[in-house]
Chain A
């Protein structure tokens, strides 16, 4: 006898309890503390902050702990918290040119004013598992400089002097805010960049990669990649003054791409731009490639590849949205499935009847009797369908 499925509430509570147990793991191991995650898994923390659009290493680390290390789940947790926060002020535009540099490289010039600074990078590590880290090895403290590095100029500004690269100008217009207003396609570049900045790293990486393999190729050079601390300033109306309220770590990538130009305008290098919270270099490079690809139409290139199609790229970039909609397939769909079952049975019956009619006279008679038997069986059986 069928018993209606009851007790959803109890089942959910039990599932949460089991989840908490699995999250904690074996009790003879020390519990992870949030400060450890923030301090030692900082690249995860930075990625979660970027895709959640909230700069708070402690809360991002908490989200990672709560999500058992699932990055997309952590992004979701932090994003859902972010949406409840009041907006107290809007900062002045960030000046990444005055960044306190921790890392800064250019692939377009051998030597650059301010120098190439490798900083903390995995780039030249040999990817050999370091078994010493299984044991508790001491890590030596790095040497310290006497003073912080001077702010150094943006490489692309050097190209500006000759007019070799397109200029970006602030037209003073108020940027669209994707966290407050729904996207209204087609969207301008400022909106696109906002959407890319919170886009899923893996997704942008794949799309950026596709442009390198010929699907919307745009001949990129890593003009400059920098990582460091940038001041956040706000304008305080009461004092009519701009004050610094703190600093955040940022990664920035300026891509130099092949020329635009027309009958009227001389050929120039074009740009792709990537920016992310924390140390998020791969993300900023992928973002810069995709940003440039999405400028195809504006630069008079033909739009032929996935990475160049703005609505396609942008509508699917957000991993909180995409993982939500994919995971909703786990919800019950009994009603719709029942509707499809009913139709499918009806169509199959019609198909069968049609096939019988099309058969030869001998075959036809057999089929008809078969059909009669089937109908008889069905009417006696537990179920059959009305045509």
Chain B
């Protein structure tokens, strides 16, 4: 696009981000501070993910953007249009055809392959933030591997509700070292982080932090022996493709409370219905 560098960010900035990414890959789950820039979209709308995507995107790469698992939600449409405009890259909705997938709140149902990169948009990268609001304190807690408070929080949930009451952004321990926020994906998606074939990058623009889960890395969701981690399940099947194993969105279909359940991953659903060429 006239007047702007390929993929919007200038090369110096991209290099700075790539360096930070290398560090992040070298220390799985560790939050690397980076000199986040303003993007022409609001903070909180995926600026972290966009900076990472802009830094790793090559001219031949094929990009997919999803929000809530869907390619056609307005913000996914807007981010995809942005990269079409500033990078002129080819885009796709097919998970298997993408080199880079930027996502908000979901991991695609189709298993990712070696060589693919999943870029997560992260609002609050610090998993300990809602237990300890001070950044100074939480960085120290990570350094000392002082994660007792997180287990106490999960235990308090069990004591109060009989269940761990965290349903999304469910904390994980990466490579046996850092407690990490997987971004607000449903805990349903947590098992997909474990030993993934694809590289997973996480970008928090407003908080100016990035981190990574490299391929084939151990990722455990925190739990207790007598309260093992479990994921959401539905009695229903997808009303469109019949899937009994994907994350389902509940859709209200009329004003008397009728509802149906459909796959949140629109590409996966279309694929199962044989509607993708």
Contacts and interface: CB of A to CB of B under 8 A. Distances in A.
Interface of A: 1-2, 4-9, 11-12, 76, 79-80, 82-84, 86, 180-186, 311-312, 315, 320-321, 323-328, 331-336, 338-343, 346-347, 350, 382-386
Contacts of A383: 235-236, 250, 259, 261
B49 interface: no
Contact of B264 (A181, A335, A343): A335
Which of A1, A4, A181, A331 gathers the greatest number of chain B CB atoms within 10 Å?
A331
Sorted nearest first, the 5 A-B pairs with minimum C-beta distance are A324-B43, A328-B44, A324-B42, A339-B167, A182-B208
Given A2-B260, A325-B123, A338 B43 contact: no
Which of A180, A184, A315, A321 gathers the greatest number of chain B CB atoms within 10 Å?
A321
B136 A382 contact: no
A174 to B, nearest CB: 15
B247 A335 contact: yes
Nearest to B37: A83
A70 B177 CA distance: 46
Contact of A336 (B4, B37, B184): B184
B86 to A, nearest CB: 11
B42 A386 contact: no
Interface residues of B, number: 70
A358 to B, nearest CB: 15
Nearest to A80: B40
Contacts of A11: 74
B10 A86 contact: yes
B146 interface: no
11 contacts: A2-B239, A4-B240, A76-B42, A182-B34, A182-B208, A321-B43, A325-B206, A327-B45, A332-B67, A342-B234, A347-B165
Contact of B167 (A79, A80, A186, A343): A343
Given A4-B72, A315-B135, A384-B235, A347 B250 contact: no
Contacts of B161: 347
A197 B94 CA distance: 46
B206 A8 contact: no
B196 interface: no
B232 A339 contact: yes
Interface string B142-172: 0000000000000000000111010111000
B81 A9 contact: yes
A334 B235 contact: no
B113 to A, nearest CB: 23
A4 to B, nearest CB: 7
Nearest to B134: A311
Interface in B1-51: 4, 8, 10, 33-40, 42-45, 47
B194 interface: no
Contact of A328 (B4, B35, B42, B187): B42
A324 B69 contact: no
A74 to B, nearest CB: 14
Contacts of A331: 44-45, 67, 74-75, 104
Contacts of B106: 335
Interface string B111-142: 00000000000010000000001111000000
B252 to A, nearest CB: 9
B147 to A, nearest CB: 21
A13 B69 CA distance: 22
Nearest to A324: B43
B209 interface: yes
